[in-house]
């Protein structure tokens, strides 16, 4: 049965919370364990449906997986190159990262095109072109992808036309056990790329330059088991800071790497928040009413992250003045706008530009989460809104945010997760 969030807004968020491990690091690292002949211990794996979907694929490939709280033990010694069925691939976009790992280990990979958030076309041409560069033959038919490289992968030089996060990850994975050296130019520089490289190097890979635009990978014959701790989730961290900012709150986030949220901090400060940074924690104090911020343009790291576009839009929707947001990464990532508008936000979208005219207050409404980050922006709006907000389709958010209710309740929010039918009768009154 599907569930929804019910939020009674306008509680000020106050307190201290730790930040979960990063979904977008954990997923490629788990996929990378396919390359390893041995047992890997992946710590700080968040408890999310996307992590479970990844574990399901690993098990389908013959890896032995055991989960103990936030630790994931994966033994890839007995992995096999089973084709990955459509049902498993469709769960999420990052299932495509298995391509580089399986091809790297077996010289052959067969799977369906991936699913994921509906935020634009999301082609995989850069991934497939890169696999061809390693010498693989790639066949795409009826939604199926078959890659074969009977003579084994050969190290190569690849220049990405755009610094795609997923393509960079796939190239690193395929190159790890390829023969010879691979150099990747115009690589993505996101912290999750460096985290993947740190894991692979701990397993015996030879990767240099991750986090910079140029990455060199010297192929090795074998990778061995290792332990690795996933980095904290910078998008979740920045999201909770935005939540505190919108409710005039004051929160301290612990267990984070402040540099990773560097691109978001100037925006929070421009909005009038005081932000204090320490080695592993950040404290934010919000003013009574936020100010509009300078123009925001989503860019590859270290630019402003596209994954924060929706949450920051919710924040600017209640700021004093006008904020202009330009989404440059995904072609269709404004599906939260009509939902925010139902709550009284004044936002006009023209192509890739959104003009947000801040209003003094939002009002609770029934809304639907369109995707992961768009859904979280509705949670933020609900926390700041007057009255009750009901958000349905919360499965999107449960792909990326661990224990949203518990975390926000610990900060003083009035939020509940309820089964659809349980709440329907009760809430009818609230919206009558
Ligand atoms: C990763 O997606 C993240 N997902 C996304 O997070 C994030 O929004 C994105 O990077 C950008 O930071 C994971 O890490 C699992 P890209 P990815 O390849 O790898 C185009 C979230 O909310 N492109 O860098 O799919 C593509 O269409 C998610 O947690 C091609 O044209 O992103 C897009 O416009 C959503 N051809 C742009 O590049 C390709 O072959 C960026 O995509 C690949 C990408």
Q: Report CA-CA distances (Å) from 312 to 49, 90, 221.
A: 24, 28, 45
pTM over 0.75: yes
Round to whole Å and give the CA distance between 155 and 136: 12
Q: Which of 51, 164, 374, 397 to mutate to test the pocket of ligand 1 (most atoms within 8 A of CB)?
A: 164
Query: How many angstroms separate the alpha carbon of residue 363 from the centre of ligand 1?
Result: 33
Tell me which of 45, 63, 72, 117 is the catalytic residue. 117
Known catalytic residue at 149: no
Q: Does 113 contact ligand 1 (Cβ within 6 A)?
A: no
Q: Which atom of ligand 1 is nearest to the CA of 116?
A: 35
Round to whole Å and give the CA distance between 126 and 161: 8
Query: How many angstroms separate the alpha carbon of residue 328 from the centre of ligand 1?
Result: 12
**Residue whose CA lies nearest to ligand 1 atom number 5:** 307
User: What is the full per-residue pLDDT of the chain (432 aa) written as tens digits?
Assistant: 689 999 999 999 999 999 999 999 999 999 999 999 999 999 999 999 999 999 999 999 999 999 999 999 999 999 999 999 888 988 888 899 999 999 999 999 999 988 655 666 678 999 999 999 999 999 998 889 999 998 899 999 999 999 999 999 999 999 999 999 999 999 999 999 999 999 999 999 999 999 999 999 999 999 999 999 999 999 999 999 999 999 999 999 999 999 999 999 999 999 999 999 999 999 999 999 999 998 999 999 999 999 999 999 999 999 999 999 999 999 889 999 999 999 999 999 999 999 999 999 999 999 999 999 999 999 999 999 999 999 999 999 999 999 999 999 999 999 999 987 755 545 544 443
Q: Which of 20, 23, 54, 166 to mutate to test the pocket of ligand 1 (most atoms within 8 A of CB)?
A: 166
Token pair for residue 240? 């909770």
Strand partners, 284: 251, 275
Phi and psi dihedrals of 255, rounded to 5? 60, 40
Please, are residues 365 and 343 in contact by the beta-carbon 8 Å criterion? yes
Q: Does 307 contact ligand 1 (Cβ within 6 A)?
A: yes
Q: Does 124 contact ligand 1 (Cβ within 6 A)?
A: yes
- H or E stretch including 71? strand 71-75
To the nearest 10°, report the CA torsion of 254, 307, 211, 90. Answer: 110
């Amino acid at each position: 049965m599907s569930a929804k969030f019910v939020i009674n807004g306008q509680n000020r968020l106050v307190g201290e919370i730790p930040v979960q491990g990063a979904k977008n690091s954990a997923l490629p690292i788990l996929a990378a364990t396919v390359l390893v002949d041995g047992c890997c211990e992946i710590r700080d794996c968040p408890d999310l449906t996307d992590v479970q979907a990844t574990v399901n694929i690993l098990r389908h490939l013959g890896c032995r997986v055991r989960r103990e709280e936030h630790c994931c033990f994966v033994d890839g010694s007995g992995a096999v190159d089973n084709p990955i069925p459509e049902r498993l691939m469709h769960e999420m976009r990052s299932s495509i990262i298995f391509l580089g790992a399986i091809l790297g280990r077996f010289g052959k990979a067969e799977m369906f095109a991936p699913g994921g958030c509906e935020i634009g076309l999301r082609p995989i041409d850069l991934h497939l072109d890169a696999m061809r560069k390693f010498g693989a033959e790639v066949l795409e038919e009826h939604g199926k992808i078959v890659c074969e490289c009977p003579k084994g992968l050969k190290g190569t030089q690849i220049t990405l036309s755009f610094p795609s996060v997923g393509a960079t990850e796939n190239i690193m994975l395929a190159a790890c056990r390829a023969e010879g050296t691979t150099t990747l130019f115009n690589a993505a520089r996101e912290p999750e790329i460096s985290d993947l490289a740190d894991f692979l190097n701990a397993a015996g890979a030879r990767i240099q330059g991750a986090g910079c635009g140029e990455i060199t990978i010297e192929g090795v014959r074998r990778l061995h088991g290792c332990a690795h701790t996933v980095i904290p989730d910078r998008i979740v961290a920045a999201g909770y800071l935005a939540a505190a900012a919108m409710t005039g709150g004051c929160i301290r986030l612990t267990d984070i790497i402040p540099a990773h949220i560097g691109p978001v901090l100037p925006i929070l400060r421009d909005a009038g928040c005081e932000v204090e940074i320490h080695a592993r924690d950040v404290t934010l104090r919000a003013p009574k009413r936020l100010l509009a911020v300078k123009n925001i343009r989503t860019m590859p790291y270290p630019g402003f992250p596209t994954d924060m576009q929706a949450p920051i839009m919710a924040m600017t929707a209640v700021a004093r003045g006008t904020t202009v947001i330009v989404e440059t990464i995904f072609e269709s990532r404004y599906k939260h706008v009509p939902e925010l508008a139902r709550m009284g936000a004044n936002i006009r979208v023209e192509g890739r530009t959104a003009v947000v005219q801040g209003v003094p207050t939002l009002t609770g409404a029934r809304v639907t989460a369109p995707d992961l980050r768009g859904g979280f922006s509705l949670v933020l709006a609900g926390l700041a809104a007057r009255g009750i907000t009901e958000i349905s389709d919360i499965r999107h958010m449960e792909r990326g945010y661990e224990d949203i209710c518990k975390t926000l309740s610990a900060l003083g929010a009035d939020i509940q997760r309820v089964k659809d039918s349980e709440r329907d009768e009760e809430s009818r009154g609230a919206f009558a």
